[in-house]
Amino acid sequence: MPHSLVKKALDVRLTAATVECLHGGHRVASHARSHKRGSYSTLAEHMPAAHRAHAEWSPGRLLNWASSIGPATRDVVQHLLETKPHPEMGYRACLGLLSLARQYGKDRLEAAGLRAKALGAPTRASVASILKAGLDRQAVVVTTAVALPAHDNVRGPTYYH
């Protein structure tokens, strides 16, 4: 779509096979119609330049990069890719981790990823917060669950099912 049409009102014509975008009666874009619920069918030439740059990445490439830093970083990247409806939606967060490696160094990023995993918050924002506060330089304390004593008033998880 031409840049001059950004933030302009368009008319849309739908057929069984296509979606057409019209401005002033002239077709400015046409897409094959997808009938998959919740799916995307964006054409690369219609993406902003920053999004096209992300398309050069793949989950495998991101995971290989993360693995070169360490297993905790790989696990954070894996989480970012798996928790989105489409892996491509996690690319921006993964590339944000890449910038944290340049800013803080690979060793600190790995330590922050380990802490984020231990906290149950393996996200880019958590890792960035850990690095900013310097918490990656502190030892990770792993706590274990305390078993409840056997007692008639302690019903356990099966009671509620």
User: 87 vs 50, which has greater pLDDT?
Assistant: 87
3-class secondary structure, 29:
strand
User: What is each CA distance from 95 to 16, 32, 60, in whole angstroms?
Assistant: 38, 30, 13
Average pLDDT in the 106-117 region? 96
Residue with tokens 């989480």: 79
What is the 8-class DSSP label of residue 38? T
Average pLDDT in the 125-133 region? 96
Handedness of CA 83, 62, 112, 92 (dihedral sign): negative
Instruction: Kindly report the pTM of this predicted structure.
Output: 0.60
Instruction: Tell me the C-alpha distance between 71 and 125, whole Å.
Output: 18
Write down the domain spans for the chain: 3-46, 55-137
